Each structure stands twice: as C-alpha cells, then as structure tokens.
Structure 1
Amino acid sequence: MKNFILLYITIISVFSFNSYAQKSQVASADKKYDKFAYIDAIKTYERVAEKGYKSEDMFQKLGNSYYFNGELDKAAKWYDELFAMAPDQQPEYLYRYAQSLKAVGQTDKANQVMEQFNQKAGNDNRASIYGKNKNYLDIIKTNSGRYTIENAGINSKYSDYGSAFFLNKLVFTSARDTGSLMQRKHKWTNQHFTNLYVSDLGEEMDPGKVDKFSKKVKSRFHESSAIFSKDGKTMYFTRNNFLDGKKGKDGKEITLIKIYKASLENEDWDKITELPFNSDSYSVAHPALSPDEKTLYFVSDMPGTIGQSDIFKVQLNEDGSFGTPENLGKEINTEGKETFPFLTDEDELYFASDGHPGLGGLDVFVSKMNPDGTFGEIQNLGDGANSPKDDFAYLIDTKSRRGFVSSNRGGGEGYDDIYKFLETRRIKCEQELYGTVTDLATGKILPDSKISLFDSGFNLINTTVTDPAGNYVFAVECGKTYNVRATKPEYTTKELKVTIAKKNNGRTKLDIALEKEKCQVAIGDDLGKCFGIKMIYFDLDKYNIRPEAALDLEKILDVLNQNPTMKLDIRSHTDSRASHKYNETLSDNRAKSTISWLVKNGVDPSRLTGKGYGETQLVNKCADDVKCSEEEHQLNRRSEFIISAL
C-alpha cells in the first residue's frame, strides 16, 4: 500500500486493521448373564499395584483410566508412580500429568512438568515465530504458483481495495474522484476520501460497470471495508468517527475510525448506528462475519492489543446486543499488524499481516479454525496471492475458488488495485485418516464408537462415530501429528498418536483395538486374553517364575480370589524348535511351575489343572523343517488359562 493506506490502516486517521476428556459411559456393573462373569480389569490392575508390583504399562492404564473419567486426584497418584518408575514418557503423558497435578494443588510442580512438555512437544506458540520457521521461504515457495491472477477491471488511478460479496454484486472501497469539483480531499495524502462502490458480477465473477453504492452511507469522510449478512439485509462497515453530522476526536484531536451497522430499508440503507465497543480513544475497523453469523471479527488497537493492530472477535447475541470483544491471541496476532480478516464457510480465517514470515510488507495468511474456536497452523498463501509489496483484503468464494485480493504491487493502475484470481490448487496437502475399531480380545467390530481427533497440542479438531462396519474417517493434513482417541461404553478409552505422511491425496490407516473394562468370559474361554497375557515368560530352558511373569500371575490370582468358584486349566505351549520330547517336558514343567505359584499364593489346588503340550498344538504352519519368521514362531509360544468352571 502507498502511504495513504498505510496511514489509514494504522493509527492516524487511521489504522488497518477438555473436559475434552469426557467421562466414559460405563454400563451397569450389576448386569448378570447365565454362565458369564464380568472381570473389572482396571480394579484388578489397582489391587495388583497396591501389592507393590510395578509396570509402566499398568501405571499408564491406571492413570489414563482416572484421567479420562475426570478423577484427576487419582490420576495424579498413578502418574506419580509412572514418572517415578519411567520418567521418559511421551508428551501426552506430561500434559496429563501436569493437568492432574494442578487439580491437587501442586501448581509449581505442574508448571515444571509443563515446561518439559513444551520443550518435548515443541508447542511453545509464543517463543519465536521465526525461530520455528527458519525455512519459511521454502514453505512459501511450496505454497506458490497456485493462482492465476489479473487486474479486476474496476480499478482507477486512485486507491481501490477491500472488496466484499453482496448477493450477486461486489462492493469495494475507492478514493476515485467521481463527484463534483468541490469533493473533499484528505489533507495528508491529497487523495479523495474513500467511499463504497458496487459492481455486478458476471460469469466467472467478472465485475461489470461501477456505480456508487449508497448516498445514505456516504459521509464527508472515509467509508470502507463493508461486510454483508447472507440475506443482504444487514451491513457492517468502517467509517471515520462521524455520525449525524458530528465528528468525534481522541485526546490528540485526531478523528479515528469505527465500525457502523446499517439495515436495508425500502431498498436503501438506513438506521446507521455505531457499534457499542467503539471508542473515540482507539480505532475499530474491517468487520468480518463468521459463517453462522453469530460472531463478528474486526481489527483494533484497543487496550489489550498485542501489536500495532490485532484481530478481535465479539459475539452477536440474538437480541441484537453484542458480547465483550476478545483478542484472538498470540496464535494469530503478533507485535506487528494483523488486519483485514475474512472467514469462509470452511472455517478458514484469511488475514493480512506483517508480523508472520512473508515476502515483504503485508502478506495474506490463512489458518483453519478448530471446533473449539482455536486456530491451527498459519500458512502464507505464497507468491501470486502475495508479492514483495502490500497484499491484503483477501476474498474467496469457496465453491468456485474464485475471488479478489488487494495489492499495491508493481504494474497496477493506482495506489492500490483490486485483482481477481482463480485458485488452481488448494494450499493444504490433505489426506484421509481412516481405520476400524475392534474388540482387542475377540476382533469383533465395534460400531458406534466415539472417535475424537486432536492436534499435537491436544486441541480438539473433530469427532465422529464408527459406522456399522466399525469404520471411521477424518480429513487430515500431510506431515502433521495427531492424537486419536476412541471411547465406547464398557471399554477402556484408548488414545493413539499418528503422523501423516507428506503425500498429497494419500490415505493413512490407523486401526484401534479396544480393551473391555469388564471382560465377559465363559467356560472354555482363555482368561489371559482379558489382560492381554499371551505368555508367562521364563528364562531360556528354565521354568522358574520371573518377576514380569509374577505380575501377570497376580492378575490371574486376583480374579480367582474375586471368583471363588472359578476353576482353571493351565496350558503351556512351545514352538517347534528343539526336539518334541524336550518341548513337551519343558512346557509341562512350566505349567506345573505356574500352578505351584498360584497354590503357594493361596489358591486351592483342586481349582487348578494343567499340562504342557509342547509343540503338539501349533496355531500355524510352523512345524518341524518349515521355514518361519521369529514372529510366526512367537505365536506358538503361549500360555493359556482356560476356564473350566464358573
């Protein structure tokens, strides 16, 4: 922009502008089924832990169980144990731990953990934008070449900028001299004061003849930056501090700018009123409406502004009143200028800034708005939409991908010009994240499971439920890391991290297997599957119980103690390597050692039977002299706890 607009959009006459963790809906524990028992795995984990057994996986599950249910004091207890045992955890556990510590009043410790989280997760949005984007020119280059752009055909030798859609028309701002010889000029620029103009839009959004917009809106000073409701009956626009023939000034005798509202009455604009959060002491300008028209975005240097000008939002109440303006925060605003916001029906915020890394002057940026109102990654639109000069007032129709942008780049007709464009390629590299949710023990598909998608900073992005085939799908961005959480009544909540490959239009698969909170077992079932026990581990060629084996056996012991009529047949299996006789003897000794451990810890021997089967009951093809992988052999080395009576 030339000096006129730079002054106009700065400050002279002026400036430019969990519980995301929902409680799991657990089914009644009192349900009874003939010949079935319900095993509360989490309670078993807790009883085992209270005996002094330690396991990283167990402490994670205990902490998560209480965290996802909102019992943060209990979550803090088990996360304490987790970090005491294994301090090197994934960032999400640091985050949950810090939140839990705050809940129990350990604020200082929580802050220390959050510091670790910020360092490990790279989630310090305030630290240094340029420090995080040292290769920003490479990123801009990747985003370039996506537009065909040309003069909009409505420009003059004066300043033309700031367009808006009004039904099938384009309304824009211009300083062109189309009035009488007595038309007033701005003292600082020798330009005429700006007014609003309108042009019909033809095919491919080509503007036609230019006319003045409305005499009732026009004043003796600046009008600019209009926005309209979808029905075309309400208008918000920027004007110097002037209403009903009276001019307002700040303490330095400067007339700043404000946002005004007008209503369409008898085919013209009337009932012009200023918005209640305007002030003679600061500027408010460049309104923009959210897709649902319940929020007004605008630019100001009001108290609480981070930089020279910030983007704010304010709620539009049903009774016509306004809420309290809120700064969009450091996700969007910098110490520089953020101005000319525009919201699309795809929940994207476009805005101009000289504080984010760009090509020079004001550049246009875009950020996706999340369901909770926060904003995602900020991206420079690249060369084409941007230039080394000032580029601002971006406007796009999301269906046709056609729109307009204002710029004072070289080759124009005036101080600022409006350019029309066609976006030929979306800025985002997008993929589908998809998968199937199943029961961990049975492999049964789980329809109607709630799936929540979070970004790397644990901000909720989207939610869905699995279809009748247990499938879910999300639209995600290439190269980003997400957290996916699955919840379903009677199952333990599970959260997985996934990083999307940098491949446009690809698909990333993430299947999720949920573990039952209360395992449903019957005679003939393997109790070990309830806890994911695939094998009781022994040292090579030995059959004495190892510490990690004792942890799993404590789970079996707890179930037997809670169900005094239950009986088990304990079976030990080997792979086909070594001789048949050796494997049979070794597996039999291991089965007997398992029984001995349980008897030693109080189980009546009459409730236990057992045998070693060696390699006689292989679950796959890996018999003698058959070449198999280590993973295939591992499937045959297993321990089973078959329920023989309930």
Structure 2
Amino acid sequence: MNTPLQKIFLSILVVLISCSSLAQKRQIKKANDNFDKFSYIDARKIYLEVVKDGYESAEIFKKLGDTYYWNSDYDNASKWYGELIEKFPDQTDSEYYYRAAQSLKSLRKYAESDAMMEQFVAKGGSGMLLKNFKEDPDYLKSISLMAKEYTLEEVSVNTNLSDFGPSYYLDKLVYASAKNSQGGEIYEWTQQPFLDLFIADMDENGKLSNSKRLGGDINTKYHESSTTFTKDGNTVYFTRNNFYEGKKGKDKDKTIRLKLYRATLTGDNTWTNVVELPFNSKEYSTAHPALSVDEKRLYFSSDMPGTIGMSDLWYVDITGDNTYSAPVNLGPSINTETRESFPFIGSRNNLYFSSDGRAGLGGFDIYVTPLDADGMPQKISNLGEPANSVLDDFGFIVKDDEGIGFLSSNRGLDAEGNNNQGGSVADQIYRIVEKCVISIEGTVFDEESNALLPGSIVTLLDENNKEVMRDTVGADAAYKFVADCSKQYSVRGANEPNYKPREKVVMTPDKTGEIVVPIPLVRTCPPDDLGCRLCLQPIFFDFDRYNIRPDAEIELAQIAAAMRQNPELIIHIESHTDSRAPNSYNETLSDKRAQATLNWLVNVGNISRSRLSAKGYGETQLLDRCVTLDECGREVRSACYDGATVQEKCSDGVKCTEDEHQRNRRSMFIIQN
C-alpha cells in the first residue's frame, strides 16, 4: 500500500526522469547541430557524455564513429562502429559497414576488415565500392606487386601542429600549416588554429629551409590550403574557406564551405588580386586545385551536384581570364561513393590522387593513373608501401624527371614522440625519393610457334647465382621482377619436362626504368626421337651415296648399345635426301640409305631385324630456314635459301651451300610404341 509520502516521492521521481530525458534530448540535439557543422570535437564530447550516462542509440553510435572517422582516428572509429553493428544491426546502413571495414584496415586487421566487407555486401552495398572489393580479393598482394620504391623522411619545416598539402612554386615549396595562425581563432573540428599558407626554400635534393608565411593578400584568419601555380610563377589557384572581401559565407545549414580562388603576383613579389572562381557555391565545397601539364585545364575536388560520392574529382577548361567551362565529373572509372581528393598532375601527364573508396592499405591511399589525350583517367594503380600506410596518405607531388617529391600523412609520431594513432591533427609532410629500380619483365613462349607457355617458372638470380625471387606465370605467361640498378642478374625460364630451361644474363642500367626480357623456350627432344635423346650427331650421307660413313658408324654404335640395354625398344629408321635430283630418284636413294642403316644395325650391331623397320622419304621433309639448337647444343634445323617457303627453296635447281644440303642427307631413329 502506498503512503502519501511514497506517492509524493514517486511523483518527484517521474518529474526528475522526465527532466533528465528532456535534458539528454537537448544535449543530443546540440551535439547533432555541432556535428552537422563539422564541429566534430565538440559534438564528440557531448555524445560521449550521453553514452556515459547510459543512453545508447544507433544514431549516437553512428555519429560517434563518424566524429572519429572523419578526423582519421580509426582506432576509436572502429570501436564505436563495432558497438553500432553489434547492438543495432537492423539500423545499420551498408555505408557504416564500409567505414568499419576501412577503420579495421587502418589497424592492420585485414581479415576482420574483409569479413566486414562481406557484411557490407550482404547489407546491399553496391557500386564502385563493391566492384573494387570483388575484382581484387587478394588486394594486399596486388598492392605489394605494384608498389613503387621510395625512401621517406619528415621535412625539417614540420611542426607539432598540422602541416600538409605541399605544392611546387618555381624552386620553392608552398604548403599549409596551423602554426603561428594570424587570426588567433581555433578551428572547432581539429581544436587547432586555422591554416595559413607558408613558403620554404628547397635545394636540389628537396631539402627545405627558411619557412615563412606566404606574403600578400592570400592568407586570412580562416583556412587557406592546397595550391597550384602556373609554371611562370605569376598565378596561383588555392583553397580557402568561403571568406571574401572580409565577409563569411554560409550554406543553408550555417556551415562555412571551401572555395577555390585565384591570385596573381605583382611587381613587388606580392600576391594580390584575389578573385573567386565563378563555379564556386556557398552550398558545396570546391578544393585542392591542380593544373594540367599544358595549364589549359584545372582539376579539383568537390561535392557539388552530380557528385557520385562524398567528394569527387572534377575539372574545368580554362577558357580565358578567370573564365572556365562548366565543371565536368571525371566519372565512375575514378570516383567512388566515398572520397576522392588531392589531385596532382605530374610532368609525364600522370594524375595522382587520394581515395578511401578503393582496395588499399587503410584510410586515404594514394593512387596514380595516366591521363589520355583527352585528359581522362586510364588504369589506376595503388602506389603501395612506403608511399601509403595504414593511415591517411594524400597530397602527393613529384618532379617526375628527378624522382624527388613530397606527400602528406598522419602516420608519424606525436609531439611527445609517442606512437601516433592517426588523426588529422597529426598531418605531416614527408620528402620522398624514388629509389633507382628496374622492372625486368617479359613473357615465356614457345620459340618455334610463339605460343604462350602458362605455368612456366621464371627465376631471377643475382650475380652470385643466388635466387632473388621467382614467379609462376599465369594465363598471360607474363612475369615481372623489380631489381636494383647497375647490377648483373640472370633471368631463368623453365617449363619442364616439355622444354629446356633458358637463361639470359641482364645488366641493369643506372636509371629507373624497364627492361623487357622475353624468354623463348625450345622443346626438349620428342619422346620418340632416340637420336636426340642420346645426344647423337645425325647419321649423314655423302652426295648421291648410301654407304655408311665412318663418322656415322660411331653414332650407330650408340644406337645399337641403347637397343641392347633396352630390349623393349623397337626402332623405325627414317632416311632423307637433299633437294638435288628429281623426286623419284631421291625417293629410291633415301630407301637405300634407310636399308643401309638397318643392315648395319643388324649385321654389325647385332640387333634383331624384327625390332627394326626402315623407310625413305626422299626430299619431302627438308629442314626449314630457322636454326634451332637441340639439348646437346647442335644445330638440328637449317635451310638452303633465305626468305623462301619450303617449296620454293627446296625445289630442284635451287642453289644452296654444301653444308645446307648436307643437313638434309640424314637418317633418324623413331621409337615405336
């Protein structure tokens, strides 16, 4: 029975619970508002507090995971996505399985990541994300095989704040940094000062020094980053918050987006005349510009209408003084449902960019694709380690002819020297130097027919004949090895038991490049050719004669010995002539040679006549022009006339050398089943 005091207590408790629930809802609404404005750090604090108080929902776990994921803290992102998937699987969209898979990959948990991708597929995941996953399930091996060899080191101008987005400016380097912010304000997303552009001297080895803020009107109290300069150094395109002529611009959700701007250099080496590019909008972001080699096209990243994913690569043609064509999306061959960003065009017309929508090592990975004559992407390759890591790698630039470049990454150590778990606040710039490496590649094929030989084994040996690596070629019979410059190697191909091994010595040059080393293999002896299997010299005859010569007796003695040791052997003798004399005469002559050979084996070699048969073939099986070596190193094929067919070169009256005719006057020994 309830007493009045108990009723009062229960009433108060209901009011307190209701107030607490309303307070939690207000907190979540505030966090959601901060989240939608990209103030992830502040939003995170509120979400964590709500969860600590015992309130959970799919929406909270999604947003918590995202606050870490979009700040590249994949350890914590993985934790909260895991909570989401475990506790609210029915409310978890496929995209969160993908982000969970990406987070696990960044923790080197590749098996768990692949399992999460299978759930992504089961949840209806589709598009390029599914295509990339299905096309290359063994992506780690593929990335390893394609990896470019680089050495990496942090540049001297890095700070304990965010430094990233390098670009070349004449003989200097321009980059974005949060150090010494002139505005003094803190960016809510990262809790760091806003970014400014800095310029540093660069020596011939890519070493940086004397960093200082870029002069003129480019830097403001808000973000500036990601530049691209014309070759003459007089024009720059750059990224900035929507802040122009002292005024902030916000989208309908009160968020300040990113825009592209252009500035020019005045006579006193000051950047001024800042103008906004006309295809910007306050409702979407445009960022990370890159000029084509001929400077007639500007590539960039954007989430403007028509974007396939969260951000795509686009381009505009530069048609005049700050006039441009309509933006063109680079399309689904390169853009995915997630993020593509930070384009850069090298001097060899290769497009480098970063994406988290492809099979990679984790986080943002750097990819490269050659551009065709229309500036469109072709085959896309992952740069592999060490250019890529399990965390975020982006902002890649390189002077192709020199093999020296730079990239941005959050893979390093924090300010205290502790192992860094990632995060955009840890972005640093790395100098990269391409190692001098040689790609040795080719195919294995039948020397006579040119048919490819899948399943062949190709081995790379060093100068001491020690195995460096080996490969079993696939259906395309192609192999590829990566070797050092200025060294001697041997490339050995084998396809046993049908072909003889072939080995070629290679001296690699002193500059990065490719060497094509085809491996033609010669068939081993036909299984029924006893003379070939015993490495015998052919049984030759003199012109217009059928007597057994002394040199032929030596070879016949070996045939006889083999037959005595192997009483099951039954031999058919085939005898031939050269092309001189009429066909009918040569048929009779070859029959006499066949019988003379048989009689020698019977009368001298003591072989039973029942184990032998013989026939002459006249001039019907003349040897062709190619010279082929058998496994004993002898020439077994030749001809008597260059450039002609067998019928042309071997008809009566064709003039051949005596050696060429001699090769055709022969007997062969075929093992019968």
- Using the size of structure 1 for normalisation, the TM-score is 0.50
The equivalent position to 1:354 in structure 2, one of 345, 353, 356, is 356
Q: Distance in 1 between matches of 2:158 and 2:202?
A: 15
Residue identity in the other structure for 2:584: K
- 1:373–1:202 Cα change, 3 Å: closer
Aligned pairs, number = 371
Q: Does 1:337 align with 2:314?
A: no
Q: Distance in 2 between matches of 1:307 and 1:127?
A: 14
The equivalent position to 1:384 in structure 2, one of 379, 386, 399, is 386
Q: Deviation per CA, 1:232-279: give whole Å up to 9, x if none.
A: 000000011111122211111211010000111121111111111111
Aligned partners of 2:316 and 2:325 also within 8 Å: yes
Between Structure 1 and Structure 2, whose CA radius of gyration is higher? 2
- 1:306-317 equivalences under 5 Å are 306-317=308-319
Q: Distance in 2 between matches of 1:362 and 1:218?
A: 27
Q: Deviation per CA, 1:606-625: give whole Å up to 9, x if none.
A: xxxxxxxx978998689xxx
- 1:346–1:359 Cα change, 3 Å: same
Q: Does 1:196 align with 2:197?
A: yes
Q: Which residue of 2 aligns with 1:506?
A: 515
Q: Does 1:247 align with 2:248?
A: yes
- 1:398–1:430 Cα change, 3 Å: farther
- 1:187–1:161 Cα change, 3 Å: same
Q: Which residue of 1 aligns with 2:131?
A: 128
- How far apart are residue 143 of structure 1 and its match? 4.2
- 1:628–1:421 Cα change, 3 Å: closer
Aligned partners of 1:619 and 1:635 also within 8 Å: no
State the secondary structure of the residue aligned to 1:140.
helix
Q: Does 1:262 align with 2:240?
A: no
Q: Distance in 2 between matches of 1:631 and 1:137?
A: 49
- Bigger relative contact order (CA 8 A; separation at least 6): 1
Aligned partners of 1:286 and 1:339 also within 8 Å: yes
Q: Deviation per CA, 1:35-59: give whole Å up to 9, x if none.
A: xxxxxxxxxxxxxxxxxxxxxxxxx
Identity of aligned residues (%): 37
Q: Distance in 2 between matches of 1:628 and 1:192?
A: 79
- 1:242–1:628 Cα change, 3 Å: closer
State the secondary structure of the residue aligned to 2:319.
coil
Q: Distance in 1 between matches of 2:369 and 2:414?
A: 28
Residue identity in the other structure for 1:297: Y
Q: Distance in 2 between matches of 1:170 and 1:345?
A: 17
- How far apart are residue 300 of structure 1 and its match? 0.3
Q: Deviation per CA, 1:351-386: give whole Å up to 9, x if none.
A: 111111111111111112223433232221112211
- 1:480-519 equivalences under 5 Å are 501-502=479-480, 505-507=514-516
Q: Distance in 2 between matches of 1:280 and 1:423?
A: 41
Q: Which residue of 2 aligns with 1:396?
A: 398
The equivalent position to 1:419 in structure 2, one of 421, 430, 442, is 430
Aligned partners of 2:264 and 2:273 also within 8 Å: yes
- 1:219-258 equivalences under 5 Å are 219-258=220-259
Aligned partners of 2:236 and 2:263 also within 8 Å: yes
Aligned partners of 2:181 and 2:195 also within 8 Å: no
Q: Distance in 1 between matches of 2:347 and 2:440?
A: 18
Q: Which residue of 2 aligns with 1:273?
A: 275
The equivalent position to 1:175 in structure 2, one of 173, 178, 185, is 178
- 1:145–1:344 Cα change, 3 Å: closer
Aligned partners of 1:501 and 1:508 also within 8 Å: no
Q: Distance in 1 between matches of 2:623 and 2:227?
A: 71
Runs of at least 5 residues in structure 1 that lack an aligned partner in the other structure: 17-123, 434-477, 482-497, 511-574, 586-613, 641-646
Aligned partners of 1:154 and 1:207 also within 8 Å: yes
The equivalent position to 2:288 in structure 1, one of 277, 286, 289, is 286
CA RMSD of aligned residues (A): 4.4
Aligned partners of 1:143 and 1:383 also within 8 Å: no
Q: Deviation per CA, 1:418-437: give whole Å up to 9, x if none.
A: 111211146x947699xxxx
Runs of at least 5 residues in structure 2 that lack an aligned partner in the other structure: 1-38, 45-65, 72-126, 416-424, 444-470, 483-513, 520-575, 589-616, 626-633, 651-673
State the secondary structure of the residue aligned to 1:205.
coil
Q: Distance in 2 between matches of 1:323 and 1:480?
A: 47
Segment drifting more, 318-327 vs 304-313: 318-327
State the secondary structure of the residue aligned to 1:406.
strand
- How far apart are residue 166 of structure 1 and its match? 0.9
Aligned partners of 1:238 and 1:260 also within 8 Å: yes
State the secondary structure of the residue aligned to 1:299.
strand
Aligned partners of 2:369 and 2:381 also within 8 Å: yes
Q: Which residue of 1 aligns with 2:218?
A: 217
Q: Deviation per CA, 1:42-83: give whole Å up to 9, x if none.
A: xxxxxxxxxxxxxxxxxxxxxxxxxxxxxxxxxxxxxxxxxx
- 1:365–1:265 Cα change, 3 Å: same
State the secondary structure of the residue aligned to 1:251.
coil
State the secondary structure of the residue aligned to 2:186.
coil
Q: Which residue of 2 aligns with 1:300?
A: 302
- 1:480–1:381 Cα change, 3 Å: farther
Q: Deviation per CA, 1:391-430: give whole Å up to 9, x if none.
A: 111111212211111111131446211111211146x947
Q: Distance in 2 between matches of 1:315 and 1:134?
A: 38
Residue identity in the other structure for 2:351: L
Q: Does 1:138 align with 2:141?
A: yes
Residue identity in the other structure for 2:257: L
